[in-house]
Protein backbone atom coordinates (compact mmCIF):
# COMPACT_ATOMS: atom_id res chain seq x y z
CA UNK A 1 0.00 0.00 0.00
CA UNK A 2 1.32 3.41 -0.95
CA UNK A 3 0.51 6.38 1.28
CA UNK A 4 1.67 9.68 -0.18
CA UNK A 5 1.14 13.17 1.17
CA UNK A 6 0.44 14.45 -2.33
CA UNK A 7 -2.19 16.83 -3.62
CA UNK A 8 -3.93 17.53 -6.93
CA UNK A 9 -6.60 19.76 -8.44
CA UNK A 10 -9.20 17.20 -7.40
CA UNK A 11 -7.71 16.77 -3.92
CA UNK A 12 -6.01 20.08 -3.06
CA UNK A 13 -5.53 19.43 0.66
CA UNK A 14 -4.28 16.41 2.61
CA UNK A 15 -3.68 16.12 6.36
CA UNK A 16 -1.76 13.41 8.21
CA UNK A 17 -1.71 12.84 11.96
CA UNK A 18 1.54 11.27 13.15
CA UNK A 19 3.40 10.02 16.18
CA UNK A 20 7.16 10.22 15.54
CA UNK A 21 9.36 7.29 16.56
CA UNK A 22 13.04 7.62 17.36
CA UNK A 23 15.51 9.91 15.63
CA UNK A 24 15.52 11.00 11.97
CA UNK A 25 17.96 9.59 9.44
CA UNK A 26 19.56 12.33 7.32
CA UNK A 27 20.92 11.91 3.80
CA UNK A 28 21.43 13.65 0.45
CA UNK A 29 19.11 12.87 -2.44
CA UNK A 30 20.48 13.56 -5.93
CA UNK A 31 18.23 14.39 -8.86
CA UNK A 32 19.03 13.93 -12.56
CA UNK A 33 19.86 17.61 -12.98
CA UNK A 34 23.01 19.69 -13.09
CA UNK A 35 23.72 23.33 -12.46
CA UNK A 36 23.40 25.69 -15.40
CA UNK A 37 26.59 27.80 -15.48
CA UNK A 38 24.76 30.53 -17.40
CA UNK A 39 21.84 30.72 -14.97
CA UNK A 40 22.19 28.86 -11.63
CA UNK A 41 18.47 29.35 -10.96
CA UNK A 42 17.59 27.18 -13.96
CA UNK A 43 19.33 23.78 -13.72
CA UNK A 44 19.08 21.50 -16.71
CA UNK A 45 18.11 17.82 -16.93
CA UNK A 46 20.93 15.30 -17.41
CA UNK A 47 20.01 11.58 -17.28
CA UNK A 48 21.99 9.47 -14.83
CA UNK A 49 24.68 7.44 -16.65
CA UNK A 50 23.11 4.20 -15.37
CA UNK A 51 19.52 5.26 -16.13
CA UNK A 52 18.95 2.18 -18.30
CA UNK A 53 19.79 -0.13 -15.40
CA UNK A 54 18.26 1.87 -12.55
CA UNK A 55 14.91 3.48 -13.39
CA UNK A 56 14.57 5.41 -10.11
CA UNK A 57 14.23 9.17 -10.48
CA UNK A 58 16.77 9.88 -7.73
CA UNK A 59 19.99 8.55 -6.22
CA UNK A 60 21.10 8.60 -2.56
CA UNK A 61 24.50 10.04 -1.78
CA UNK A 62 27.40 8.40 0.02
CA UNK A 63 28.04 9.27 3.68
CA UNK A 64 31.54 10.35 2.64
CA UNK A 65 31.17 13.13 0.02
CA UNK A 66 34.58 12.28 -1.42
CA UNK A 67 33.31 8.81 -2.28
CA UNK A 68 29.99 9.92 -3.76
CA UNK A 69 29.80 9.30 -7.54
CA UNK A 70 26.76 11.57 -7.94
CA UNK A 71 28.54 14.53 -6.36
CA UNK A 72 31.63 13.82 -8.44
CA UNK A 73 29.52 13.84 -11.61
CA UNK A 74 28.00 17.20 -10.71
CA UNK A 75 24.40 16.21 -10.02
CA UNK A 76 22.35 18.46 -7.74
CA UNK A 77 21.51 17.30 -4.23
CA UNK A 78 18.76 18.15 -1.76
CA UNK A 79 18.87 17.54 1.98
CA UNK A 80 16.37 14.89 3.06
CA UNK A 81 15.39 13.22 6.31
CA UNK A 82 13.43 10.07 7.05
CA UNK A 83 11.88 9.09 10.34
CA UNK A 84 9.71 6.22 11.49
CA UNK A 85 6.19 7.29 12.37
CA UNK A 86 2.87 5.87 13.37
CA UNK A 87 0.00 7.32 11.33
CA UNK A 88 -3.50 7.51 12.76
CA UNK A 89 -6.00 5.61 10.65
CA UNK A 90 -9.72 6.41 10.22
CA UNK A 91 -10.57 3.75 12.84
CA UNK A 92 -8.20 5.50 15.31
CA UNK A 93 -5.59 2.74 15.16
CA UNK A 94 -1.97 3.55 14.36
CA UNK A 95 -0.07 2.10 11.40
CA UNK A 96 3.74 2.16 10.94
CA UNK A 97 4.92 4.43 8.12
CA UNK A 98 7.98 6.43 7.11
CA UNK A 99 7.96 10.20 6.79
CA UNK A 100 10.55 11.20 4.17
CA UNK A 101 10.75 14.91 3.40
CA UNK A 102 13.12 17.87 3.32
CA UNK A 103 13.89 20.79 5.64
CA UNK A 104 10.48 22.42 5.09
CA UNK A 105 9.02 19.89 7.51
CA UNK A 106 12.00 18.70 9.54
CA UNK A 107 13.15 22.24 10.36
CA UNK A 108 9.81 22.73 12.12
CA UNK A 109 10.58 19.76 14.33
CA UNK A 110 14.00 21.24 15.11
CA UNK A 111 12.45 24.63 15.96
CA UNK A 112 10.03 22.98 18.39
CA UNK A 113 12.93 21.23 20.10
CA UNK A 114 15.02 24.42 20.27
CA UNK A 115 12.13 26.36 21.82
CA UNK A 116 11.62 23.67 24.44
CA UNK A 117 15.32 23.70 25.30
CA UNK A 118 15.15 27.48 25.79
CA UNK A 119 12.09 27.07 28.01
CA UNK A 120 14.02 24.57 30.13
CA UNK A 121 16.85 27.07 30.56
CA UNK A 122 14.35 29.68 31.79
CA UNK A 123 12.41 27.43 34.16
CA UNK A 124 12.14 28.25 37.84
CA UNK A 125 13.80 26.13 40.51
CA UNK A 126 11.74 23.04 41.23
CA UNK A 127 9.97 23.04 37.87
CA UNK A 128 10.18 19.85 35.81
CA UNK A 129 12.11 19.90 32.56
CA UNK A 130 9.96 19.94 29.44
CA UNK A 131 10.31 17.06 26.99
CA UNK A 132 12.41 18.13 23.99
CA UNK A 133 12.17 14.88 21.99
CA UNK A 134 9.34 14.16 19.54
CA UNK A 135 10.14 10.47 19.13
CA UNK A 136 10.20 9.13 22.68
CA UNK A 137 7.99 7.56 25.35
CA UNK A 138 5.89 10.69 25.75
CA UNK A 139 5.63 13.25 22.97
CA UNK A 140 3.06 15.42 21.19
CA UNK A 141 1.15 14.28 18.14
CA UNK A 142 2.32 15.98 14.94
CA UNK A 143 -0.11 17.08 12.26
CA UNK A 144 1.10 17.82 8.73
CA UNK A 145 -1.14 19.47 6.17
CA UNK A 146 -0.23 19.68 2.49
CA UNK A 147 -2.04 22.29 0.40
CA UNK A 148 -1.80 22.72 -3.35
CA UNK A 149 0.03 25.97 -4.12
CA UNK A 150 1.58 26.38 -7.57
CA UNK A 151 3.75 29.24 -6.28
CA UNK A 152 5.69 26.85 -4.05
CA UNK A 153 8.44 24.37 -5.06
CA UNK A 154 6.78 21.21 -6.27
CA UNK A 155 3.40 22.97 -6.22
CA UNK A 156 2.80 22.10 -2.55
CA UNK A 157 2.82 24.15 0.65
CA UNK A 158 3.27 22.35 3.96
CA UNK A 159 2.00 23.33 7.42
CA UNK A 160 3.26 21.62 10.57
CA UNK A 161 1.29 21.75 13.83
CA UNK A 162 2.58 20.14 17.03
CA UNK A 163 0.00 19.44 19.70
CA UNK A 164 0.91 21.05 23.07
CA UNK A 165 -0.38 17.94 24.87
CA UNK A 166 1.96 14.97 25.18
CA UNK A 167 0.77 11.51 24.25
CA UNK A 168 2.22 8.33 25.76
CA UNK A 169 3.50 5.64 23.43
CA UNK A 170 1.35 2.62 24.25
CA UNK A 171 2.26 -1.06 24.27
CA UNK A 172 -0.14 -1.53 21.33
CA UNK A 173 1.76 1.09 19.34
CA UNK A 174 5.10 -0.56 20.08
CA UNK A 175 3.67 -3.98 19.19
CA UNK A 176 2.46 -2.58 15.86
CA UNK A 177 5.96 -1.29 15.08
CA UNK A 178 7.56 -4.54 16.16
CA UNK A 179 5.23 -6.65 14.03
CA UNK A 180 6.24 -4.68 10.93
CA UNK A 181 9.99 -5.00 11.47
CA UNK A 182 12.29 -5.94 14.32
CA UNK A 183 16.07 -6.22 13.84
CA UNK A 184 17.67 -9.53 14.69
CA UNK A 185 19.16 -9.65 18.18
CA UNK A 186 22.79 -9.30 17.07
CA UNK A 187 22.01 -6.29 14.90
CA UNK A 188 19.90 -4.67 17.60
CA UNK A 189 22.68 -5.17 20.15
CA UNK A 190 25.22 -3.60 17.78
CA UNK A 191 22.93 -0.63 17.10
CA UNK A 192 22.34 -0.15 20.81
CA UNK A 193 26.07 -0.21 21.58
CA UNK A 194 26.80 2.24 18.76
CA UNK A 195 24.08 4.57 20.01
CA UNK A 196 25.27 4.48 23.62
CA UNK A 197 28.81 5.29 22.49
CA UNK A 198 27.54 8.30 20.56
CA UNK A 199 25.43 9.36 23.54
CA UNK A 200 28.54 9.49 25.75
CA UNK A 201 29.85 12.25 23.46
CA UNK A 202 26.46 13.94 23.19
CA UNK A 203 24.50 13.77 26.47
CA UNK A 204 21.60 15.65 24.83
CA UNK A 205 20.69 12.49 22.92
CA UNK A 206 17.59 10.79 24.39
CA UNK A 207 17.88 7.57 26.34
CA UNK A 208 17.98 4.54 24.08
CA UNK A 209 14.82 2.56 23.41
CA UNK A 210 14.79 -0.64 21.34
CA UNK A 211 11.66 0.53 19.53
CA UNK A 212 13.73 3.26 17.87
CA UNK A 213 14.65 0.52 15.37
CA UNK A 214 11.21 -1.11 15.02
CA UNK A 215 8.87 -0.52 12.10
CA UNK A 216 11.25 -0.16 9.16
CA UNK A 217 14.96 -0.70 8.47
CA UNK A 218 15.46 2.95 7.52
CA UNK A 219 19.24 3.03 7.15
CA UNK A 220 18.97 0.11 4.71
CA UNK A 221 16.01 1.53 2.77
CA UNK A 222 17.80 4.84 2.29
CA UNK A 223 21.31 3.48 1.87
CA UNK A 224 23.74 4.89 -0.68
CA UNK A 225 22.90 4.22 -4.33
CA UNK A 226 26.10 3.10 -6.07
CA UNK A 227 26.72 3.90 -9.72
CA UNK A 228 26.09 0.87 -11.93
CA UNK A 229 29.12 0.78 -14.18
CA UNK A 230 29.53 -1.47 -17.20
CA UNK A 231 32.79 -2.94 -18.43
CA UNK A 232 34.40 -0.92 -21.21
CA UNK A 233 31.91 1.86 -20.64
CA UNK A 234 33.19 5.13 -22.07
CA UNK A 235 30.84 7.34 -20.06
CA UNK A 236 31.89 10.64 -18.55
CA UNK A 237 32.84 9.00 -15.26
CA UNK A 238 36.53 9.36 -16.22
CA UNK A 239 36.20 13.09 -16.77
CA UNK A 240 33.43 14.17 -14.39
CA UNK A 241 31.82 17.56 -14.33
CA UNK A 242 32.53 18.75 -10.82
CA UNK A 243 30.04 20.73 -8.79
CA UNK A 244 31.28 21.06 -5.24
CA UNK A 245 28.65 23.51 -4.09
CA UNK A 246 26.71 22.86 -0.91
CA UNK A 247 23.53 20.78 -1.25
CA UNK A 248 20.42 22.91 -1.42
CA UNK A 249 18.00 23.23 1.45
CA UNK A 250 15.25 22.97 -1.13
CA UNK A 251 15.38 22.38 -4.86
CA UNK A 252 12.57 22.82 -7.34
CA UNK A 253 10.18 19.94 -6.82
CA UNK A 254 12.33 18.34 -4.14
CA UNK A 255 9.50 18.21 -1.61
CA UNK A 256 7.17 16.53 -4.10
CA UNK A 257 9.57 13.68 -4.84
CA UNK A 258 8.01 10.45 -3.60
CA UNK A 259 10.13 7.32 -3.18
CA UNK A 260 8.16 4.28 -4.32
CA UNK A 261 8.92 2.23 -1.22
CA UNK A 262 5.45 1.52 0.11
CA UNK A 263 4.27 3.13 3.34
CA UNK A 264 6.68 5.99 2.69
CA UNK A 265 5.50 9.52 2.14
DSSP line for 148-209? E-TTSGGGEEEEEEEEEEEEEPPHHHHHHHHHH----HHHHHHHHHHHHHHHHH-TTSPPP-
The reply to whether 185 falls in a domain is: yes
The answer to whether the Cα torsion of 134, 136, 138, 142 is positive or negative is: positive
The reply to whether 182 falls in a domain is: yes
Neighbours of 180 (CB within 10 A): 15
Please, what is the end-to-end C-alpha distance for the chain in angstroms?
Answer: 11
Q: What is the mean pLDDT of residues 197-226?
A: 94
The reply to whether 74 falls in a domain is: yes
| Domains contained in the chain, number | 1
pLDDT digits (tens, 9 = 90+) for 13-37: 989 999 999 999 999 999 999 999 9
Give the C-alpha separation, 205 to 195, whole Å: 9
- Among 196, 206, 195, 82, which residue's Cα sits nearest to residue 132? 206
- Domain of residue 87, CATH code: 3.90.198
- 122 SS3 class: coil
Q: What is the predicted pLDDT for the residue at 129?
A: 79
Could you tell me the pLDDT band of residue 253, with boundaries at 50, 70 and 90?
very low
Q: What is the mean pLDDT of residues 158-173?
A: 93
pLDDT digits (tens, 9 = 90+) for 91-120: 999 999 999 999 999 999 999 999 998 988
pTM value is 0.83
49 neighbors 32 (Cβ within 8 angstroms) = no
| Percent of the chain topping pLDDT 70 | 84
Residue 165 has pLDDT above 60, yes or no: yes
The reply to whether 246 falls in a domain is: no
The reply to whether 1 falls in a domain is: no
Give the C-alpha separation, 154 to 164, whole Å: 30
Q: Which residues of 124-154 are buried (b: 16+ CB within 10 A; e: fewer)?
A: eeeeeeebbbbbbeebbbbebbbebeeeebb
Q: What is the predicted pLDDT for the residue at 263?
A: 47
Which residues constitute the domain of residue 189? 13-223
The reply to whether 239 falls in a domain is: no
Which position has the higher pLDDT, 5 or 37? Answer: 37
Q: What is the predicted pLDDT for the residue at 236?
A: 47
The answer to whether the Cα torsion of 40, 46, 50, 51 is positive or negative is: positive
Task: Name the pairing type of β-strands 13-34 and 138-148.
Answer: antiparallel
The reply to whether 188 falls in a domain is: yes
Q: What is the predicted pLDDT for the residue at 247?
A: 63
Q: What does each C-alpha distance from 10 to 14, 82, 88, 153, 158 come to in angstroms?
A: 11, 28, 23, 19, 18
Which position has the higher pLDDT, 143 or 8? Answer: 143
pLDDT digits (tens, 9 = 90+) for 212-239: 999 999 989 999 999 998 765 544 444 3
The reply to whether 55 falls in a domain is: yes
Neighbours of 44 (CB within 10 A): 11
User: What average pLDDT does the structure give for the chain?
Assistant: 85
- Among 24, 27, 30, which residue's Cα sits nearest to residue 50? 30
Residue 192 has pLDDT above 80, yes or no: yes
The answer to whether the Cα torsion of 66, 69, 74, 78 is positive or negative is: negative
Q: What is the mean pLDDT of residues 35-43?
A: 90
Q: What is the predicted pLDDT for the residue at 174?
A: 96
Neighbours of 36 (CB within 10 A): 11
Q: What is the predicted pLDDT for the residue at 238?
A: 43
Amino acid sequence: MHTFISVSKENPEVTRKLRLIGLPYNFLEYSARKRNPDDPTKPFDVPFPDAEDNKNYTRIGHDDPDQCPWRRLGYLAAKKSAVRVLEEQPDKTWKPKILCKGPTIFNEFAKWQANRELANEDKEDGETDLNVFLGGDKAPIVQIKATRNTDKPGGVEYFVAINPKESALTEAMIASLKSSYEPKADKLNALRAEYEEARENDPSMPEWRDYFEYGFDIDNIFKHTPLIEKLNDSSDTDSPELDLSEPSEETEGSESTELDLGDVW
